A = this chain, B = another copy of it.
Amino acid sequence: MMGAVAKPRVGIIGTGAIGGFYGLMLARAGFDVHFLLRSEFSAVAEHGLKLHSAVHGALTLSPVQAYSSAQDMPPCDWLLVGAKTTSNADLAPAIRQAAAPDAKVLLLQNGLDVEDSLRELLPDALHVLGGLCYICVHRDAPGVITHQALGAVHVGYHSGPAVDEVTRSAIVEEGVGLFRAAGIDSQVMANLHQARWQKLVWNIPYNGLSVLLGASTTPLMADADSRESIKALMAEVVRGAVACGYEIPPGYAEQLFMVTEKMPDYWPSMYHDYLHRRPLELEAIYARPLAAARSAGCELPRIEALYRSLSFIDRRNR
């Protein structure tokens, strides 16, 4: 579909591990990529972006089209938001500034309904999409990213001027095409809510237990009790999704469990946030799914217990 059309210009809002990885891969594939940075601006402007990837090898992007203010960015056709969900509302002015008039804003984030708070703060002409990243990646230092495994991005339409299914599909396909052109596996999500619930089947157990127990995936998968905790939490997520009207495919949780067993040892993003005393993404990953399930008459006691413990820990950690 992209054929002879000029490649879209891409803006990266929040150049942490996720924004940095996908932005670098797109730039390397020839896209015109512009990076908005805060605390890491000087390091990246001076030394570029470095990626140590177990899949793609050692890659460097230098110079980087880096900006400390969105006012200096050219209008972008696609904006990839890799910042924490806790800062979505704060990012709205930068997104409005950097967006072309009919730009697509793709949130590469975990959690339920993460698009809602941002949507209200953006012009109606902008498309908002959600992206789920199946990837083991983390930031080692300013501008230095380690990619351990996986990488796929699943894309779905959230809201905006595309009201008919055909137009929505075309926009989602364009997004999927961006990633595929950069050598990244990408798929269309027919239903963004459904997909976000599915991703929670992983995030709810592993993110929370990594902080609660101070343990990465390998020890969590090696201990009989944490294995049972993970399975029981996964089963509750599936129950919550079903209560909210989203059927999770049979065997999906078991498959994620097995995939995690084969993954290299991994510290989920919430553990990195905890370690660096950043706010944990508890609202998006725990509070909203719990509230949605409760509205549907479904109690999820293990997830709620985990959420309350994490809230206590998060409050003490800052």
- A228–B308 CB distance below 8 A: yes
24 contacts between A and B (CB under 8 A): A209-B309, A212-B212, A212-B309, A213-B309, A213-B312, A213-B313, A215-B316, A223-B311, A223-B312, A223-B315, A225-B307, A225-B308, A225-B309, A225-B311, A226-B309, A226-B312, A228-B308, A229-B305, A229-B308, A229-B309, A229-B312, A302-B304, A302-B305, A305-B306
Interface membership of chain A positions 191-231, coded 1 if the CB is closer than 8 angstroms to chain B and 0 otherwise: 00000000000000000010011010001000101101100
Total chain A interface residues with beta-carbon distance under 8 A: 24
CB nearest neighbor in B for A233: B305
A63 sits at the interface (CB 8 A): no
A135 sits at the interface (CB 8 A): no
Give every chain B residue within 8 A of A229 (Cβ-Cβ): 305, 308-309, 312
Give every chain B residue within 8 A of A302 (Cβ-Cβ): 301-302, 304-305
Give every chain B residue within 8 A of A304 (Cβ-Cβ): 232, 302
Q: What is the minimal beta-carbon distance from A298 to any residue of chain B, in angstroms?
A: 13
Q: What is the minimal beta-carbon distance from A188 to any residue of chain B, in angstroms?
A: 36
Give every chain B residue within 8 A of A309 (Cβ-Cβ): 209, 212-213, 225-226, 229
Q: What is the minimal beta-carbon distance from A233 to any residue of chain B, in angstroms?
A: 8
CB nearest neighbor in B for A301: B301
